[in-house]
Structure 1
Amino acid sequence: MPYRKRHIKSKIHKIRLQKSIFKMPIFWILNLVVVIVLSVLYFLIFFSGFQVENIIISGNEKIPSKNIEKLAYANINKKIIGIGKWNLMSKSIFLVNSQKLQQEILSRFPVAEAVAVEKKLPQTISLKITEKKPVAIFCSSAGSEQASAKCFFIDKNGVIFEELQSLAQRQDMPIITQTLNSNDIFTGESVVDRNVISAISKIEKNLKDNFQIDIKEALVSNPLRLDIKTNENWQIYFDLNSDTNLQIIKLNSLLKNEISQTSRASLQYIDLRFKDRAYYK
């Protein structure tokens, strides 16, 4: 019996020795850490000195700055908490997702080729826009001479990015036509394979540099054939499935050695589609 009493007293003594959690230093240390972290977060997110107030836009010529600025502010102004109709918003520079903002600008404005986003503490975002340079005009297969044909500027990757109101805007660039599965085409779409665009650019440079001949029109009649119409109103037929460089070498040989500048006035076509041979009329 005495042993049982001693055992019970020992348990009671141990229970009495346990400290309250509020008297433990670790409790107050953890609470202090939480308070500091929350204070820093609140300071970074809501302090007025870190709210984006300035957006500097440069490099854009065709895209209106006000349109870029409006899109940027819509992306920067973020909802932190929403309860019913009440929203707690922040424009903190630390919450700006540069990659997302970049992608939204590129998606909204097909004319934009690249966007560099830079945060300039404490309140400024810099947007440097690089706009696409057209390499040619793309017109629907209905034909560039038809009034109903839609024509667009096209870039080096075969993407159309700006609709032309008139072919007077062509600036002596070649017109590319190609049959599409749908007549409905929109800016931002890839309509011509980039390898075809590269071949046309290479042919254009060669003709202009070596013979002062311009390309008037390029017809991609099927994936294997490219028909070039020159400003002298004769045509060149290329096989897109063969080496373009070798076909250009054959073309140069003909124009230098067999077809004189004066005889080009009556020339109808040069056919380069056959290996090791070339025909002209």
Structure 2
Amino acid sequence: MSSQPRKNNIIDLKKAAAKREERRWSAPVPKPSRPSPLSKPQRLRARRRKMRLVMFSICLLCSAGLVGGLGFVSHMERFAITDIKVDGAQQLSANALTAAVQSGLSDNIFRIFSKANMFIYPRTQIEEELAGRFPRIKDVELSRPGLLAQAVVVTVQERQPYAKWCADSMCYFLDAGGFIFAEADASAPTTSYVFNMGLIPKQGPIGQTFLHGRLIGIVHFLELLAAAGYEPQGIRVENEKDFSVSLTDGPTLMVPFDADGEKVVHDLQLALEADSVRDRGAELEYVDLRFGNRVYYKFKGE
């Protein structure tokens, strides 16, 4: 066996590595797969979607510009309310009403449009705020003299005192509907009647309604008494079912709310003509008319 290696049995590692590197770099790189082309209906839908988005953006920008422009115009001085006039106020302060209207015209609507603009000022809202702030107001209306007038006229109708509601040493005026609207001071004019009790406790009298839904019937009963020759001074609510009526130079009458007024007056006349009280009418303390055909009475000091 020969010790010399054969030439064809020799491997050149340097050349082999070089060829291997050459093959690696010369190998074809796979091309990325291309998406399949869209069909014609798909392309149309994509185009429509893009157009809708563009149109929406344009409309949004136009709307924002329009709102901003109108907001700017609403603040222009030529369209602003600059004068407030008050008509019909007697006991109410015209200055207080003017200040309340000015307060209602301050600030903006949606933080954009001026409330003082003559075309969009919140008329109904201000009317409601005035009625709530000033209980003496029975009716209020805001108006402008002309289309381009920069003045607002506040026309008010005040409640008229019909009777007084009193508790302890304090008295308040109420109108014919029973609504209590103002405190009655010592110099206030006298009224036909004085009422007591019948309000919600722990609430201020002003703003409450005395005998809501019942006062009309009570007033009719008082008128029947006056027509029969008696002088009713007013009523006092005793409980949910009964009330009392004080008569000038006469007894106190106890009457149920659900009584027939004409029958009560008739029964009172019959009772006062009875032999047991006919000559002692001035001594009567009260006459109780709550029990139908049975009339109870009491003399003073008994």
Report the TM-score, using the length of structure 2 for normalisation.
Answer: 0.65
Q: Is the 8 A contact 1:247 1:272 kept in 2?
A: no
Q: Any idea what the Cα deviations from partners look like across 1:127-174, whole Å, max 9, x if unmatched?
A: 22121122211112x4xxxxxx221112344332111222x6351421
Distance 1:276 1:93, change over 3 A: farther
Higher Cα Rg: structure 1 or 2?
A: 2
Structure 1 residue 41: Cα displacement: 5.2
Distance 1:118 1:219, change over 3 A: same
Deviation of 1:64 (Å) = 0.4
Check if 1:76 corresponds to 2:90.
no
SS of the aligned residue for 1:188 comes to coil
* Contiguous gaps of at least 5 residues in structure 1: 1-7, 9-17, 22-26, 143-148
Q: Using the alignment, how far apart are the partners of 1:181 and 1:108 within structure 2?
A: 20
Superposition map of 1:108-257 within 5 A:
108-120=133-145, 121-122=147-148, 123-140=150-167, 142=168, 149-166=169-186, 169=188, 171-178=190-197, 182=201, 185-190=204-209, 192-211=210-229, 213-240=230-257, 242-243=258-259, 246-252=260-266, 254-255=268-269
The higher-RCO structure (CA 8 Å, 6+ apart) is 1
Amino acid at match of 2:175: D
Between the two proteins, what is the percent identity of the paired residues? 18
Query: Partner letter of residue 199 of structure 1?
Result: G
Aligned pairs for 1:52-67 within 5 A: 52-67=81-96
CA shift, 1:255, in A, is 3.1
Pairing of 1:18-97 with structure 2 (within 5 A) = 39=69, 42-43=72-73, 45-79=74-108, 91-97=116-122
Q: C-alpha displacement at 1:55, in angstroms?
A: 1.8
Aligned residues: 245
Task: Report the CA distance between 1:79 and its aligned residue.
Answer: 3.3
Distance 1:93 1:277, change over 3 A: farther
Contact 1:251 1:272 in 2 (8 A): no
CA distance in 1, matches of 2:79, 2:59: 29
Alpha-carbon spacing, 1:59–1:262, altered in 2? closer, same or farther (3 Å): farther
Once the 2 structures are TM-superposed, how far is the Cα of residue 279 of structure 1 from its aligned partner? Answer: 4.8
Q: 1: CA distance between counterparts of 2:110 and 2:217? A: 54
* Residue of structure 1 in register with 2:26 after alignment: none
Q: Tell me the secondary structure at the aligned position of residue 57 of structure 1.
A: strand
Distance 1:88 1:194, change over 3 A: closer
Q: Secondary structure at the match of 2:290?
A: coil
- Distance of aligned partners of 1:49 and 1:34 in 2 relative to their CA distance in 1, 3 Å threshold: same
Distance 1:171 1:255 in 2: 29
Q: Which runs of 5+ in 2 are unaligned?
A: 1-36, 38-46, 52-56
**CA-atom RMSD in angstroms:** 3.9
Rate the CA distance shift 1:200–1:135 in 2: closer, same or farther, 3 A: farther
The answer to whether the 8 A contact 2:75-2:113 is kept is no
Match of 2:54 in 1: none
Q: CA deviation at 1:197?
A: 2.3
Check whether the contact 2:198–2:211 (CA below 8 A) recurs between aligned residues: no
1:68 positional shift: 0.4
- Relative to structure 1, is the Cα distance of residues 209 and 55 closer, same or farther in structure 2, using a 3 angstrom cutoff? farther
| Offset at residue 229 of structure 1 (A) | 0.3
Letter in 2 for 1:70: A
SS of the aligned residue for 2:192 comes to coil
Structure 2 counterpart of 1:193, one-letter code:
L
Query: What TM-score does the superposition give when structure 1 sets the normalisation length?
Result: 0.70
Q: Distance in 2 between matches of 1:257 and 1:199?
A: 23
Superposition deviation, residue 177 in structure 1: 1.1
Aligned mates of 1:159, 1:64 — CA distance in 2: 20
Structure 1: distance between partners of 2:201 and 2:115: 44
Distance 1:171 1:94 in 2: 45
